[in-house]
Amino acid sequence: MPKITVLDQDTINQIAAGEVIDRPSSVVKELMENAIDAGATAVTVEIKDGGISFIRITDNGCGIEKEQIPTAFLRHSTSKIRSVEDLLTVSSLGFRGEALSSIASVSQVELITKTAEALTGSRYQIHGGKEILLEEIGAPDGTTFLVRNLFYNTPARKKFLKTAQTEGAYISSLIERMALSRPDVSIRFIQNNQSRIHTSGNHNLKDLIYMIYGREIAGNLLPVEAVKEAVKISGFLGKPLISRGNRTYENYFINGRYIKSNLINKAIEDGYHSYMMQHKYPFVVLNLEIEPEFLDVNVHPSKMELRFRNPEEIYDSVCRAVHDTLAGKELIRKVSLDAEPQKDSPQISAKENADTKKHTVQRAPEPFEVRRMIKDREPLWNQEKVRESAAYAKIPVKQPESKTEPSEPEAPKQLELFEEKLLTKEARDEYRFIGQLFDTYWLIQYRDEFLIIDQHAAHEKILYERMVRQLAEKKVLAQMVNPPIILTLNLREEEVLKSHKERFLALGFEIEPFGGREYAVYSVPSNLYGIAQTDILTELLDSLAEELEQESEQVILEKLASMSCKAAVKGGDSLSVKEAEALIDELLTLENPYACPHGRPTVISMSRRELEKKFKRIV
């Protein structure tokens, strides 16, 4: 029978630290919150090796008195609250009294601090929860924390950290949000001896957005000011043309605290409903002021979650504020008058008779587009057109006799996808082109089979397989772009770009720094010229930032499939017979020509027997 014992204090501290400190960014978050609570107007954060080996946080706050320093590192010691009743009205960022003890138990901490009233400062060292030194020292007003060798005494925890580059990206993302939450505080971020962020603390939120996200986003903002029943809302909304494939750009703060809330997410996205394409997410920076008694922030040690006493009112207030701000605004997208880029592959010639078309059939959206369209939008297609010409016939096919002997009914058999072998080079010689249907489908007769080929799905498959093959053979052809495409990236996206630069280069993307947060794309894959624009590239970076390193190859292939889908000829594009023949000839060279990268069929077939049964010629 195992005996029940009380754990020693070191073990208790390390277990508790696991709830509060799980990575270097947690250390930065807790110490920055302490600095802001101390009344600091300037905070400097410096890290090395992603914060694993070194973190320095300096502020000009009120400092800590020498006699209180050892007490500050005890568990549940805090200056923010005094009793349980204070939890109902807490307005500071920190209040649990767990941060310093948790940090000190898993790292080597040095503290230098001085109050405005003191003549000298104090220097305090604590390693793994054990006090090493407390002495007087000359120091400026404020506090400096030096945190070295995080998780040095818990190797099991340390091996679960990601690379220094990834951990640094987490910290930079955190500091960007901390800066957005407090425009009145000057924040400087230094990474590996390079200054990455330096805000002015001039109280101007729009200046911060410009500095962090760039000119394009800052130039497409709508200010929001609303006072609803239970909440005061202020900040900026991005126009619907600013969107991402994930929620990276949804920034909201409650009483100055950055939190994550499914309720607020849904309220913001529902406010954008009918303005934003499906599976796209908006850019917002919102500050919500809610009376503390309506919140419970003591949900999790990380303080990233909270509960609302009146969630329905909060949802309704945020949703209405977003919708009312967007309603009645001029949201027409500006487009350039440049000629539309050529989307055909080099093997398919330019459209020969486009200028002589008498009328145009409106394009039906492809399936990948339908999913993102607004539910209640009416279909875009309303006309049909069938072209049929004897000139389309390539090889004459012997016509069947009008009188046929009644055939015996065939026994049913199991058909397999590759059994018929209709899409082969050998079968190609017997194809008879009948015509194009709805400017989308090509009708072909092959012996006793009737084939219908989707030109978009077929071209998409060709482009995708061509890119994958060239990538495997390291023979990707790049097309120069003049003028170059300019990307404005945040710190996390910059780190992703740097860590995957070789992969981008192998794909045909030549991307170089252009000054500040901007990067210039000088070349793109030749198959995707005119399609690989800013939004596609930022979506690729976002996806790579979310995935694990070993899955990044799959992410790139999935994005290549989407880019091939956009680059391919669309339903509604009229092709000549020669263009269709060139497309089908290349389709037949593929190992699997039967489905596009997204799984849609490229070709369907119907036997002569099935057609005759439909017309009741046989029973």
370 assigned to some structural domain: no
Please determine, for residue 202, whether its predicted confidence score (pLDDT) is greater than 50: yes
Asked if the model's pLDDT at residue 355 lies above 60, the reply is no
Query: Taking residues 143-149, what's their average pLDDT?
Result: 95
Range from 53-62, 119-128, 388-397 carrying the lowest mean pLDDT: 388-397
Q: What is the pLDDT of residue 138?
A: 92
Q: Give the rounded percent of residues in the chain with a pLDDT score beyond 70.
A: 74
pLDDT at 379: 39
CA 38, CA 157: separation in Å to the nearest integer? Answer: 31
Tell me: do 166 and 251 sit in the same domain.
no
**DSSP class of residue 575?**
-
Let me know if residue 447 belongs to a domain. Answer: yes
CATH number, position 529: 3.30.1540.20
Residues 565 and 465 in one domain: yes
399 within domain boundaries: no
- CATH number of the domain enclosing 275: 3.30.230.10
* Over residues 45-61, mean pLDDT: 95
Q: Residue 28 maps to which CATH number? A: 3.30.565.10
Evaluate if residue 378 carries a pLDDT over 80. Answer: no
Of the residues 148, 170, 198, the one at which a domain ends: 198
Higher model confidence: residue 612 or residue 354? 612
Q: Give the tokens for residue 385.
A: 């057109």
Determine the 3-state secondary structure of 354 from DSSP.
helix
Q: Which amino acid is at 498?
A: K
Are 233 and 287 in contact, with CB atoms under 8 Å apart? yes
Judge whether 343 lies within some domain: no
Quick one: 159 and 255 in the same domain? no
Determine the pLDDT at residue 237: 94
Same domain, 256 and 152: no
Q: State mean pLDDT over 511-518.
A: 86
pTM above 0.75, yes or no: no
Residue with tokens 């008779």: 353
* Distance (Å, whole) CA 350 – CA 338: 18
Element (H or E) spanning 481, and its range? Answer: strand 478-488
Q: What is the 3-state secondary structure (H, E, C) of 169-209?
A: HHHHHHHHHHHHHCCCCEEEEEECCEEEEECCCCCCHHHHH
Q: How confident is the model at residue 446 (pLDDT cuts 50, 70, 90)?
A: confident
Q: What is the pLDDT of residues 271-293, one digit of tens each?
A: 998 788 777 899 999 999 988 77
pLDDT band (50, 70, 90) for residue 32: very high
Query: Of 285, 307, 326, which residue constitutes the final position of a domain?
Result: 326
- The answer on 512 and 575 residing in a single domain is yes
425, pLDDT greater than 70 = no
Whole-angstrom CA distances from 35 to 28, 61, 163, 447 are 10, 6, 27, 80
Amino acid, single-letter form, for residue 334 = K
Q: Which residue has the higher pLDDT, 113 or 552?
A: 113
**Which 3 state secondary structure label does DSSP give 451?**
strand
What distances in angstroms separate CA 592 from CA 10, 53, 142, 564, one per listed residue?
Answer: 61, 51, 67, 16
The pair of three-digit structure tokens given for residue 534, joined into one six-digit string:
């800013």
pLDDT of residue 86: 55
Q: Residue 575: inside a domain, yes or no?
A: yes
More confident residue, 265 or 568: 265
The order of strands in the sheet holding 284-289 is 221-227, 232-238, 284-289, 250-254, 257-258
Cα separation values, 233 from 224, 236, 258, 322, Å:
7, 10, 15, 10
Round to whole Å and give the CA distance between 318 and 270: 9
Q: Report whether the peptide linkage leading into residue 483 is cis, meaning its omega lies within 30 degrees of zero.
A: yes
Is 526 a member of any domain?
yes
Domains of the chain: total: 3
Task: Verify that 289 and 149 share a domain, yes or no.
Answer: no
Residues 179 and 282 in one domain: no
Q: How far apart are alpha carbons 76 and 68 in whole angstroms?
A: 14
The pLDDT of residue 409 is above 80: no
Residues 82 and 174 in one domain: yes
Same domain, 247 and 262: yes
For the segment 318-343, the average pLDDT, to the nearest whole number, is 65
388 in a structural domain: no
The one-letter code for the residue type at 615 is F
Domain end: 198, 226, 256, which one? 198
User: How confident is the prediction for the chain on average, in pLDDT?
Assistant: 78
Residue 171: predicted pLDDT: 93
Question: For residue 403, is it within any domain?
Answer: no
User: pLDDT value at position 245?
Assistant: 81
Residue 95 domain boundaries: 9-198
| Non-local CB neighbours of 201 within 8 Å, separated by 6+ positions | 41, 42, 183, 184, 185, 186, 187
132 and 108, same structural domain? yes
Same-domain pairing of 123 and 47: yes
Q: Residues 17, 47: one domain?
A: yes
